């Protein structure tokens, strides 16, 4: 019956994470999947989450189905966090928000909804991309393409190229945007660049689909949502997928949300209805446990304050590792320009290392970096940073020498 079924090669990101765990060497460094590790190399269980989980478990409530759109308290808390408590769109009741299975679930529900609403619409995604963006939207029937984003020469943003590509799109094209901590490059638009891009989105009647998986890991919870709030201010109607996998260190509980900013409350209520219809057809309604815990933290003033501090400490540790890698590489490989470590921000650092260099790092040093050359920075800590720098210096110095 299934002779024709091809073997699954595995996901390029998760597969290398598995290869790392299977590597028997003691000395090895895991820079693969976007997971936050603390300085001891452990995935933290946030204290705020532990308190909220326990408080909820102690109530021993029954477990009926949640509404299709998810927990009301969770959805309200998401809206405040993403759009800001003083958001005009929220006050006017024109944002439709549903609880989803992580950020990925939000992207999928949004993709299915958009394909039904605009069957001919196609999507444009940054080059390079988080590959799953292409896969999710193609899976929803939306053809995908790339717009220029990263400039290999400057190791920064090709903003002119991005703007030029986006300004040539047909009306109702969908544009996938990262508001902060771009995956895989760590290269973001400045507020000034957002303010140049947003009028183009409006003028060309493009549908912005914002994917915020790292709120709080760039500059701060509010700063990282700048683009979203500027889009509201500009009067755009657009989509936001957000995830609590990273900023709550809550990956396995699959907590995310999809919000659609509409023009009127009536439109928002119809959009909410169609999002529910999409969800009903896929998984019917979201799970309760994670949503209760996240909403328990976000809706308690004291736990919220403590969570902001937890996010701040994760962000600052990532920034400190970037600084350390850069400073140490300057000493160990003075001819190699490692300034990208500190120019980029958030979870990921885009190295531009060649396949041969990446292979050498894996084979000789047990340093695992995915094939795009993207480093998940929190895999570095005070214990392994010198070893990492030594390995990097070895592979970049020999290639500097070869090319000289
Ligand atoms: N969007 C982006 C931009 C993103 O980097 C991830 C995860 C997600 C959405 C998915 O979020 P979730 O809430 O887990 O569904 N990225 C990391 C893990 C992965 O590939 O799934 C990564 O890039 O390593």
What is the secondary structure of 272-296 as a DSSP string? HHHHHHHHHHHTSS--SHHHHHHHH
CA 97–ligand 1 middle distance (angstroms) = 20
Task: From 101, 183, 211, give the residue whose CB has the most ligand 1 atoms within 8 Å, as the site to mutate.
Answer: 183
- What pLDDT sits at residue 398? 78
Is residue 399 over pLDDT 70? no
d(CA 196, CA 163): 9
Q: What is the mean pLDDT of the chain?
A: 96
Q: Whose CA is nearest to atom 9 of ligand 1?
A: 103
Burial class (CB within 10 angstroms; exposed 0-12, middle 13-18, buried 19+) of 203:
exposed
Average pLDDT over residues 165-182: 98
What is the residue with the minimal CA distance to atom 22 of ligand 1?
A: 34
**pLDDT tens for residues 302-359?**
999 999 999 999 999 999 999 999 999 999 999 999 999 999 999 999 999 999 999 9
pLDDT of residue 401 exceeding 60? no
Apex CA 232: angle with CA 76 and CA 227, to 5°?
95
Pairing of strands 150-151, 156-157: antiparallel
Atom 4 of ligand 1, nearest CA residue: 213
Q: Is 380 helix (H, G, I), strand (E, B) or coil?
A: coil
Whether pLDDT at 404 is above 60: no
Q: Which atom of ligand 1 is nearest to the CA of 133?
A: 1
- Is residue 180 very low, low, confident or very high in pLDDT (cuts 50, 70, 90)? very high
Ligand 1 pocket: which of 213, 346, 378 to mutate (most atoms <8 Å of CB)? 213
Question: Model confidence over 276-292: pLDDT tens digits?
Answer: 999 999 999 999 999 99
Tell me how far the alpha carbon of residue 131 is from its chain's centroid.
12
Nearest protein CA to atom 2 of ligand 1, as residue: 213
pLDDT in tens, 350-389: 999 999 999 999 999 999 999 999 999 999 999 999 999 9
Predicted pLDDT of residue 175: 98
Could you tell me what percent of the chain has a pLDDT over 70? 99
The pLDDT score that the predictor gives to residue 12 is 87
What lies within 8 Å, CB to CB, of 124 at 6+ separation is: 144, 145, 146, 147, 165, 166, 169, 173, 174, 175, 176
Please give the pLDDT value at position 103: 98
* Ligand 1 centroid to residue 386 C-alpha, Å: 28
What integer pLDDT is reported at residue 375 of this predicted model?
A: 97
| Measured distance CA(211)–CA(175) in Å, rounded | 10
Strands (E) located in 23-63: 29-30
Residue 2 CA to ligand 1 center (angstroms) comes to 31
Model confidence over 202-241: pLDDT tens digits?
999 999 999 999 999 999 999 999 999 999 999 999 999 9
The preferred substitution site among 104, 110, 129, 369 for testing ligand 1, maximizing ligand atoms within 8 Å of CB, is 104
pLDDT at 169: 98
Ligand 1 geometric centre to CA of 175 (Å): 18
Instruction: Specify whether the CB–CB gap between 169 and 206 falls below 8 A.
Output: yes
pLDDT at 166: 98
Pocket lining for ligand 1, CB < 6 angstroms: 13, 33-34, 102-104, 130, 132, 183, 211, 213, 243, 245, 251, 256
Q: Does the pLDDT at position 39 exceed 70?
A: yes
pLDDT at 402: 58
Q: Measured at the alpha carbon of residue 166, what is the angle toward residues 160 and 171, in degrees to the nearest 5?
A: 155
Read off the pLDDT of residues 117-169 as tens digits, 9 standing for 90 and up.
999 999 999 999 999 999 999 999 999 999 999 999 999 999 999 999 999 99
CB proximity list for 244: less than 8 A, separation 6 or greater: 250, 253, 255, 256, 290, 294
For residue 101, give the ligand 1 atom closest to its CA. 15
Q: 34 C-alpha to center of ligand 1: Å? A: 7
Examine the pLDDT at 400 and tell me if it is beyond 80.
Answer: no
Task: Give the C-alpha separation, 374 to 393, whole Å.
Answer: 17
How far, in Å, is the centroid of ligand 1 from the Cα of 213?
7
pTM of the entire predicted model: 0.96
Distance CA 67, CA 335 (A): 59
Provide the annotated active-site residues.
130, 211, 246
Ligand 1 atom closest to residue 107's alpha carbon, by position in its atom list: 9
Residue that has been written with the tokens 């759009």 in this structure: 83
- Here the tokens at position 311 are 């996010």
DSSP 31: -
């Amino acid at each position: 019956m299934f002779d024709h079924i091809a073997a699954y090669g595995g996901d390029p990101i998760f597969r290398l994470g598995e290869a790392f765990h299977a590597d028997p060497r003691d000395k090895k460094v895991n820079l693969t999947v976007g997971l936050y590790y603390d300085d001891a190399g452990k995935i933290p269980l946030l204290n705020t989450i532990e308190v909220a989980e326990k408080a909820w478990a102690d109530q021993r409530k029954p477990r009926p189905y949640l509404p299709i759109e998810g927990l009301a308290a969770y959805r309200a808390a998401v809206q405040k966090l993403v759009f800001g408590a003083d958001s005009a769109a929220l006050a006017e009741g024109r944002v439709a928000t549903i609880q989803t299975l992580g950020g990925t679930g939000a992207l999928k529900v949004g993709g299915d909804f958009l394909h039904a609403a605009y069957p001919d619409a196609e999507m444009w995604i940054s080059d390079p991309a988080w590959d799953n963006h292409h896969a999710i939207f193609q899976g929803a029937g939306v053809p995908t393409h790339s717009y220029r984003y990263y400039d290999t020469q400057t190791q920064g943003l090709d903003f002119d190229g991005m703007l030029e590509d986006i300004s040539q799109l047909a009306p109702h094209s969908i544009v996938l945007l990262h508001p902060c901590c771009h995956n895989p490059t760590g290269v973001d638009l400045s507020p000034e660049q957002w303010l140049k891009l947003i009028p183009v989105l409006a003028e060309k009647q493009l549908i912005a689909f914002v994917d915020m998986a790292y709120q709080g890991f760039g500059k701060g919870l509010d700063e990282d949502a700048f683009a979203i709030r500027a889009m509201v201010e500009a009067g755009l109607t657009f989509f936001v997928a957000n995830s609590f996998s990273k900023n709550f260190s809550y990956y396995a509980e699959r907590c995310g949300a999809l919000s659609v900013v509409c023009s009127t409350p009536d439109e928002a209520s119809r959009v909410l209805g169609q999002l529910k219809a999409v969800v009903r057809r896929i998984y019917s309604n979201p799970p309760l446990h994670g949503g209760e815990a996240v909403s328990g933290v976000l809706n308690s003033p004291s736990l919220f304050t403590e969570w902001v501090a937890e996010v701040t400490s994760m962000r600052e540790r990532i920034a400190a590792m970037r600084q350390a890698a850069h400073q140490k590489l300057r000493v160990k490989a003075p001819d190699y320009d490692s300034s990208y470590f500190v120019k980029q921000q958030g979870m990921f650092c885009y190295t531009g290392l060649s396949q041969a260099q990446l292979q050498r790092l894996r084979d000789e040093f047990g340093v695992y970096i995915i094939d795009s050359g993207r480093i998940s920075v929190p895999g570095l800590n005070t214990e392994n940073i010198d070893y990492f720098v030594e390995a990097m210096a070895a592979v970049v110095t020999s290639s500097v020498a070869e090319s000289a």
